Amino acid sequence: MLQDILTSLFGESYIWQDIVIAVVSMLFGFILLPQLREVWHGKTTLNVYTAGLTTIGLFILAVTFTTMGYWISFTADVFSGIIWLLLFILSVRNKRDRSKK
């Protein structure tokens, strides 16, 4: 039933899947903005392995989405990947600064 509704709205293309993936990816990026602010101000750090591997994974997904023609999802994953990259870089900086003290 859901498939019939989506097909009637978008036709036989997979644009609806691109939109769903992009919305979820963008939400994941926006959810991290408060965390990014705290890391930016040096109040906290993230596990650098988690941040680094998540960054790599998101950029791999972005490249994969380009091969599928999912340009909206590509853009959303690049956005989330940049947020994770900033979290990684700033966490490394904060850990380095704390170790100097």
Dump pLDDT digits (tens) for 30-85: 999 999 999 999 999 999 999 999 999 999 999 999 999 999 999 999 999 999 99
95 in any annotated domain:
yes
| Residue whose structure tokens are 């097909």 | 7
8 in any annotated domain:
no
CA distance 94 to 79: 22
11 in any annotated domain:
no
Let me know how long the chain is.
101
* pLDDT tens-digit readout, 21-39: 999 999 999 999 999 999 9
52 in any annotated domain:
yes
What's the pTM value of the predicted model, to 2 decimals?
0.84
17 in any annotated domain:
no
- Domain residue limits at 42: 26-100
69 in any annotated domain:
yes
